[in-house]
């Protein structure tokens, strides 16, 4: 169904393994579904009030960063050193402006810092201590790393049989949106992979890999196997497929299939085209997701 260029949003909460069986797993699944539903609702409300696609995706991802059910912001997985290191990026499809941060340890909402990098720094990507110093200049207060670490993630770290190499199972959160003026935007945020080496940077803050937005193509947010996503520039591949005439659902499926065929990767993507319905696809066992077009009902799935 072609929904035209009406405002729309799609959100993901990370692609990865299905939760283990039992009451705790059921509770985690419910929490993630509710989390992406609320994130989609926040973005929809921004668009309904006349806000931009950029405002919508940043608001949506910031909410997910504050939700401990997801691997971003509060609740992020821990590095081999037992700390949270956060990556995030945003991109505006109207101007192709982008901002990103990597390996940040003292910011509550890295997506807000990524937007500040885009709008105020003169750069696209800042990392580690340099990103932290810029956060203070941008008015984002220091946030203790210990407050980003949940009891669940600390227990998981303490129970790990070894601290290297990384065990994977990272996940990411992201949002794509189209506003009433037809402009697109994307935002993505992550804590990376569990037990990653300190300083590791995945696909999330790399433009064209984990995040991409171009009004002439599509807005894309990716999640999954970061090292392999980087090698095929997955987000740009999906956007280019839309630009070549594929409907967004088909473009999402083809991009994920290419990742598997070329480098054996598992991932998920959400794709927002200039017109029509969004596309959502993954080849991991699960990806929490939510989407809504215009004044329709919010749909969810995992």
Radius of gyration of the chain (CA): 17
Of 20-24, 29-33, 54-58, 293-297, the least confident: 20-24
H or E element that contains 100: strand 98-104
Q: Average pLDDT of the chain?
A: 93
Q: pLDDT tens digits for 50-97?
A: 999 999 999 999 999 999 999 999 999 999 999 999 999 999 999 999
CA distance 187 to 55: 10
Q: pLDDT tens digits for 207-244?
A: 999 999 999 999 999 999 999 999 999 999 999 999 99
CA distance 213 to 238: 10
Residue 94: name the closest of 212, 184, 210 by CA: 184
Place of tokens 């949106």: 177
Q: What is the mean pLDDT of residues 120-135?
A: 98
For residue 169, pLDDT beyond 50: no
Q: What percent of the chain is modeled with pLDDT above 90?
A: 89
In 10 A of CB 296, how many CB atoms?
13
Q: pLDDT tens digits for 245-265?
A: 999 999 999 999 999 999 999
Is 193 tagged catalytic?
no
Partners of residue 15 on adjacent β-strands = 287
CA distance 85 to 101: 10
Kindly indicate whether the domain formed by 8-301 is annotated with CATH number 3.60.20.30.
yes
Of 27-36, 67-76, 84-93, 114-123, the least confident: 27-36
Q: What is the mean pLDDT of residues 269-273?
A: 98
Local confidence band at 2 (pLDDT 50, 70, 90 cut-offs)? very low
Local confidence band at 22 (pLDDT 50, 70, 90 cut-offs)? low
| 122: exposed, middle or buried (Cβ count in 10 Å: 0-12, 13-18, 19+) | exposed
The residue that leads in pLDDT, 166 or 79, is 79
Partners of residue 244 on adjacent β-strands = none
pLDDT value of position 21: 53
For residue 272, pLDDT beyond 90: yes
pLDDT value of position 260: 98
For residue 3, pLDDT beyond 80: no
Looking only at the bridges linking them, the beta strands covering 184-190 and 211-213 are unpaired
The answer to whether the beta carbons of residues 118 and 99 sit under 8 Å apart is yes
Any idea where the domains of the chain sit in the sequence? 8-301
Q: Out of 172, 188, 223, 233, which one is annotated catalytic?
A: 172
Partners of residue 127 on adjacent β-strands = 102
For residue 22 the two structure tokens come to: 């039992």
Residues 6+ apart with CB under 8 A from 79: 85, 192, 195, 196, 197, 198, 200
pLDDT value of position 167: 45
CA distance 103 to 126: 9
Residue 186: name the closest of 93, 77, 81, 103 by CA: 93
For residue 171, pLDDT beyond 70: no
């Amino acid at each position: 169904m072609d929904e035209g260029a009406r405002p729309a949003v799609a959100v993901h909460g990370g692609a990865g393994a299905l939760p283990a069986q039992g009451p705790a797993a059921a509770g985690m699944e419910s929490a993630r579904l509710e989390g992406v539903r609320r994130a989609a609702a926040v973005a929809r409300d921004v668009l309904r009030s006349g806000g931009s696609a950029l405002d919508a995706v940043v608001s949506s991802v910031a909410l997910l960063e504050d939700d401990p059910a997801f691997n971003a912001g509060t609740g992020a997985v821990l590095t081999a050193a037992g700390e949270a290191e956060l990556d995030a990026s945003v991109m505006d499809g109207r101007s192709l402006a982008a901002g990103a941060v990597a390996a940040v340890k003292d910011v509550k909402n890295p997506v807000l810092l990524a937007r500040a990098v885009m709008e105020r720094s003169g750069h696209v990507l800042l990392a580690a201590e340099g990103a932290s110093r810029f956060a203070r200049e941008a008015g984002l207060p220091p946030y203790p790393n210990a407050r980003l670490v949940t009891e669940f993630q600390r227990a998981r770290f303490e129970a790990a049989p070894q601290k290297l190499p990384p065990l994977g199972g990272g996940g990411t959160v992201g949002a794509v949106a189209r506003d009433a003026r037809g402009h697109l935007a994307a935002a993505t945020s992550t804590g990376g992979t569990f037990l990653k080496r300190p300083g590791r940077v995945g696909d999330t803050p790399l433009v064209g890999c984990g995040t991409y937005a171009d009004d002439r193509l599509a807005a894309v947010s990716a999640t999954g196997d970061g090292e392999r996503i980087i090698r095929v520039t997955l987000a740009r591949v999906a956007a280019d497929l839309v630009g070549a005439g594929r409907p967004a659902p088909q473009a999402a499926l083809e991009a994920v299939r290419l990742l598997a065929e070329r480098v054996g990767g598992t991932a998920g993507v959400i794709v927002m085209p200039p017109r029509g319905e969004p596309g959502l696809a993954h080849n991991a066992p699960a990806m929490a997701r939510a989407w809504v077009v215009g004044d329709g009902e919010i749909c969810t799935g995992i």
